């Protein structure tokens, strides 16, 4: 029988992450991202898309039905707040004494069965967003200088420092309200978010008033009535808080019941007290109120690669040679590949696939031509790298062999 292959176009330098059945390694995953110093993610994306911890404390006093529910005000302005926690953007406490909450996947590491999220804007410290216009990113108290930073001429770190010092040396030192918001909705905002990192560090060194305060990111409001696709990576509680652990267990059990037995793990955290302190993250089996399923619903595993640069065609089997995924007969496999390259790319089947190990169910390509995916049903089991072949190609329309390309490749196995 003729052996078939799957072709692609690009890859290299593998840094893999895996979300398996019950992610008992969640504490190590979070700590690794906390210690990550990436300034700008691949494709000039903001650092929160591939590193750090996107975290939100939950106010029990709101008496909302679920941990992921939104207040009426959030629904009205179509956004709600998260903080980005990393070793170079630390904070020592949550507003209003929150003792528990939720953690989201980074956008570039979100499993394929979960929705990604849109960030409207970001502030180096709490932005007083309840009192702002425009999704919480606009003007505060009729102060025109509190608008988006690019609209008021603050587009560099030095310009931000000058504005901070101007405010702090004035009669009104309410920097929370008077600061500007960095717009995250426009492409290529990696450098802007890195200004926030530098600004946060400047505040730690030069302000006692705002020392170790959390930053703030406004995220587009999600559909709270459909919990399953929400990008929840973990529930957390503050170590030492009995109430916090109780709340996190309630969150976990509620999500389990709302999503047909999907388990999101619980972690304990202890926030750093100073910029030189570290974050403590723990995972304990005894903290989990439900078990036996998996962080991805108990029915899937996901393995992802960031790779590049590539300049011309590369067969997919060379990518999968590094995969750790194993499969069994009947598993459904989804492969998604996206590129930063300007030339458009697409999957196509050049001739009938002649392979005893799988059946191709579908091929799809994004409208902008920078990503594509394939869905396959396995007819045999074993190591994925040994099973996959087929005449499928991921091609560039510009035909260039000199442009560097980088790929995010994600393999999801639905059991």
At residue 328, the pLDDT reads 80
- What is the pTM (predicted TM-score) of this model? 0.67
DSSP code at position 323? -
- pLDDT, tens digit, for every residue of 273-288? 999 999 999 999 999 9
pLDDT of 7 strictly over 50: no
Q: Look at residues 220, 240, 268 and tell me which one is the last residue of a structural domain.
A: 220
Mean pLDDT, the chain, as a whole number?
Answer: 81
175 and 304 belong to one structural domain: no
61 and 210 belong to one structural domain: yes
Q: What is the mean pLDDT of residues 183-188?
A: 85
101 within domain boundaries: yes
Position 305 confidence tier, pLDDT thresholds 50, 70, 90: low
Across the beta sheet with 358-365, the strand order is: 15-19, 300-310, 405-414, 332-339, 371-378, 358-365
194 within domain boundaries: yes
226 within domain boundaries: no
Q: Pairing between strand 45-46 and 40-41?
A: antiparallel
316 within domain boundaries: yes
Helix (H) or strand (E) holding 385, with range, is: helix 384-387
Residues in the chain: 415
306 and 200 belong to one structural domain: no
Q: Look at residues 220, 244, 264 and tell me which one is the last residue of a structural domain.
A: 220
241 within domain boundaries: no
pLDDT of 40 strictly over 80: yes
Chain-centroid distance, C-alpha 215 = 17
310 and 215 belong to one structural domain: no
124 and 213 belong to one structural domain: yes
Q: What is the domain extent for residue 333?
A: 7-13+298-414
- Angstrom CA distances, 118 to 86, 295, 324, stand at 20, 22, 31
Confirm if 308 and 277 have CB atoms less than 8 A apart. Answer: no
Helix axes 190-206, 157-168, angle to 10 degrees: 40
- pLDDT, tens digit, for every residue of 101-152? 999 999 999 998 999 999 999 999 999 998 899 999 999 999 999 999 999 9
31 and 156 belong to one structural domain: yes
- Angstrom CA distances, 376 to 322, 323, 358, 359, 392, stand at 19, 16, 6, 6, 12
- Angstrom CA distances, 47 to 25, 43, 85, 89, 104, stand at 22, 11, 11, 11, 14
DSSP code at position 393? E
Number of domains making up the chain: 2
| Angle formed at CA 51 by CA 46 and CA 57, multiple of 5 degrees | 95
88 and 198 belong to one structural domain: yes
Could you give the CA distance from residue 45 to residue 116 in angstroms, rounded to a whole number?
Answer: 14
């Amino acid at each position: 029988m003729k052996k078939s292959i799957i072709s692609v176009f690009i890859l290299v330098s593998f840094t893999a992450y895996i979300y398996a059945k019950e992610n008992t390694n969640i504490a190590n995953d979070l700590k690794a991202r906390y210690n990550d110093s990436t300034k700008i993610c691949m494709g000039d994306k903001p650092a929160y898309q591939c590193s750090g911890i996107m975290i939100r404390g939950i106010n029990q006093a709101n008496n909302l039905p679920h941990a992921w529910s939104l207040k009426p005000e959030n629904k009205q302005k179509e956004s709600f707040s998260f903080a980005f926690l990393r070793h170079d953007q630390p904070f020592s406490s949550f507003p209003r004494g929150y003792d528990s909450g939720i953690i989201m996947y980074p956008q570039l590491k979100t499993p394929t069965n979960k929705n990604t999220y849109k960030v409207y804007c970001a502030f180096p410290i709490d932005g007083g967003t309840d009192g702002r216009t425009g999704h919480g990113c606009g003007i505060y108290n009729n102060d025109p200088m509190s608008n988006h930073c690019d609209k008021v001429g603050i587009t560099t770190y030095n310009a931000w420092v000058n504005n901070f010092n101007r405010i702090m040396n004035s009669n009104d030192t309410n920097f929370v309200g008077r600061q500007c918001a960095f717009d995250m909705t426009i492409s290529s905002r990696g450098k802007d978010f890195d200004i926030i990192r530098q600004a946060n560090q400047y505040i730690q060194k030069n302000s006692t008033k705002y020392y170790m305060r959390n930053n703030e990111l406004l995220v587009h409001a999600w559909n709270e009535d459909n919990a399953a696709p929400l990008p929840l990576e973990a529930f957390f509680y503050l170590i030492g808080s009995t109430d916090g652990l109780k709340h996190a267990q309630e969150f976990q059990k509620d999500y389990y019941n709302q999503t047909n037995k999907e388990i999101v793990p619980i972690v304990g955290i202890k926030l750093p007290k100073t910029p030189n302190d570290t974050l403590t993250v723990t995972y304990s089996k005894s903290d989990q109120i439900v078990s036996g399923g998996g962080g991805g619903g108990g029915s899937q595993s996901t393995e992802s690669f960031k790779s590049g640069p590539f300049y011309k065609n590369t067969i997919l089997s060379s990518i999968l040679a590094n995969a750790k995924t194993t499969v069994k007969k009947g598993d459904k496999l989804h492969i998604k590949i996206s590129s930063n390259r300007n030339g458009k790319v697409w999957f196509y089947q050049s001739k009938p696939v002649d392979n005893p190990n799988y059946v191709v169910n579908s091929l799809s390509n994004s409208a902008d031509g920078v990503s594509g995916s394939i869905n396959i049903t396995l007819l045999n089991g074993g190591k994925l790298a040994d099973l996959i072949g087929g005449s499928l190609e991921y091609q560039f329309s510009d035909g260039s062999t000199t442009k560097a390309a980088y790929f995010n490749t994600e393999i999801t196995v639905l059991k």
